[in-house]
Amino acid sequence: MSRLTWLVPMASLLFWGSALTGVAGAAPISFPRGDITRFIAHMVRSHHFERKQLITWFAKVRPLPGVLALMDHPFEALPWKTYRRLLVTPARIRAGKTWMALNRKALDGEEKRYGVPGALIAAIIGIETDYGEDIGDIPAFAALATLAFNDPARAPFFRHELSGFLRLCRRNHYDPLAIQGSYAGALGIPQFMPTAYLRYATRHSHGRPPNLFLSSQSAIDSVARFLRAKGWHSGRRVAIEAALGPDHTPPPKEILGVPRLPHVFREAGLLFTHKLARRTRVTLIALPGAFDTHYWITLPNFEVLMAYNPSIDYSMAVFELALKLQAKA
C-alpha cells in the first residue's frame, strides 16, 4: 500500500461521533449512476463478477455523507498532545499487557519469525481496535462506495479498495452488505484495508480462509507479515529522543550519518538496542508537548510504521505505546 493507506484508528469514531448517514443541513447525495455503471462493467470484465448480483448490491446501499465529513477531519489532525492523550492511556496500557499475556505464544512466535517486537504488534492492534474490542460498526460497502464515487480527490484509491473488498467477500464467502468496519472501510482486528487483507492476511486454522474479524492469532501474524513486507529491520531502533543542545537550541532538521550524532542525543525507551548502522539515514521531527517541544530522530523502521498509517503522530503513538507495554512496571 502507498502513503494513502487509510488505516484509521477506531478511537476516531469515539471522538468525532457517528453521524454517518447524514450531516445536519446537508442535502441528500446519491451515487453518480454513470460511474457505478462503469465500475460494474469493470468488475464483470476484469474479475468475472455477475452483473446482476452487482446491480442488486448497489441498489441496496446509499452514500454516507458523514464519511466524507470524517475523512476531511481526520483524527490525526488533532494537536499531538491531545492525540497522544487519547491514544496512549493508562487503560490501554493495562488492557494491552493483559492481551499480550493471553497472546504471548503468538506474539513471541512472530517476533522470532519476522523480527517484529510483540509489543509493537500489540500497540498497533491496541490503537486500531482496542485489542479487537471495537472493530467498527459502519457498513463497509457503503463507506467504500461513498469514498469511491462521491469524493473525487480520493476516488482512484477507494475504487481500487472497493474492488478489493468485493473480491475479498467473494473469496471468503462474506455477504458484502453485512460486513462492518471503520468509516474509511478498514476491516477487522488490525483494521486492514481490503487490498491489504487480500495480500497480507494469514490463516489460523488450516483449510479455512484468514479471518481477521475473529482471530487474534491471524491478526498478530498478519500485522507482522505486513511490517516485514514493508521493510522492517529486525533488531533496529524506531526512534531516538533528541535532547536540546547546551544552548537550548533544537538539533538540525535532518542529520545524515548517525555515528556523527553529538553527545546530547540520548536513546529513549527499551526497544531495539542494537548499534545503528554507519550510514543510516535519520530525520528529526518535533512534537509540541504541554510545556515544551520534544524532538525525535526517526529511523527507517519509523517509515515502516508510516506504511501502516501515513501519519507521524500515529507512528509515534504506536512507538510510545509499545515502549510502555514492554516496560516491566
Per the domain annotation, does 221 fall within a domain?
A: no
Residue 284 Cα to chain centre, angstroms:
22
Stretches in the chain below the pLDDT threshold 50: 1-19, 21-25, 253-275
Q: What pLDDT, on a 0 to 100 scale, did the predictor assign at position 290?
A: 63
Residue with cell 525525535: 296
Q: Show the domain range for 40.
A: 11-75+135-185+193-200
Q: What pLDDT, on a 0 to 100 scale, did the predictor assign at position 250?
A: 56
Q: What pLDDT, on a 0 to 100 scale, did the predictor assign at position 206?
A: 66
Task: Give me the active site residues, please.
Answer: 128
Q: What pLDDT, on a 0 to 100 scale, did the predictor assign at position 73?
A: 85
Per the domain annotation, does 220 fall within a domain?
A: no
Angle (deg, nearest 10), helices 118-129 and 216-229: 110
Per the domain annotation, does 66 fall within a domain?
A: yes
CB 93 within 8 A of CB 67: no
Taking phi over 0 as left and psi of -120 to 50 as alpha, with beta for the rest, 269 belongs to: left
Q: What pLDDT, on a 0 to 100 scale, did the predictor assign at position 270?
A: 33
Per the domain annotation, does 287 fall within a domain?
A: no
CB 107 within 8 A of CB 220: yes
Q: What pLDDT, on a 0 to 100 scale, did the predictor assign at position 26?
A: 52
For residue 90, count other CB atoms closer than 10 A to its CB.
8
Q: What pLDDT, on a 0 to 100 scale, did the predictor assign at position 298?
A: 87
Instruction: Say whether 137 sits in a helix, a strand or coil.
Output: coil
Instruction: Outline where the chain has alpha helix (H).
Output: 11-16, 33-47, 51-59, 65-71, 80-87, 90-102, 104-114, 118-129, 140-149, 155-172, 194-200, 216-229, 300-308, 312-326
Q: What pLDDT, on a 0 to 100 scale, did the predictor assign at position 328?
A: 76
Identity at 192, one-letter amino acid code: F
CA distance 8 to 135: 11
Residues 6+ positions from 102 with CB-CB distance below 8 Å: 216
Per the domain annotation, does 214 fall within a domain?
A: no
Per the domain annotation, does 56 fall within a domain?
A: yes
Instruction: Say whether 270 sits in a helix, a strand or coil.
Output: coil
In terms of Cβ atoms closer than 10 Å to its own Cβ (0-12, 13-18, 19+), residue 116 is: buried
Per the domain annotation, does 158 fall within a domain?
A: yes
CB 201 within 8 A of CB 212: yes
Q: List the CATH number of the domain containing 29.
A: 1.10.8.350
Per the DSSP assignment, residues forming a β-bridge with 63 are none
Q: What pLDDT, on a 0 to 100 scale, did the predictor assign at position 278?
A: 54
CA distances from 23 to 26, 27, 61, 67 (A): 5, 8, 17, 10
Per the domain annotation, does 21 fall within a domain?
A: yes
State the total domains in the chain: 1
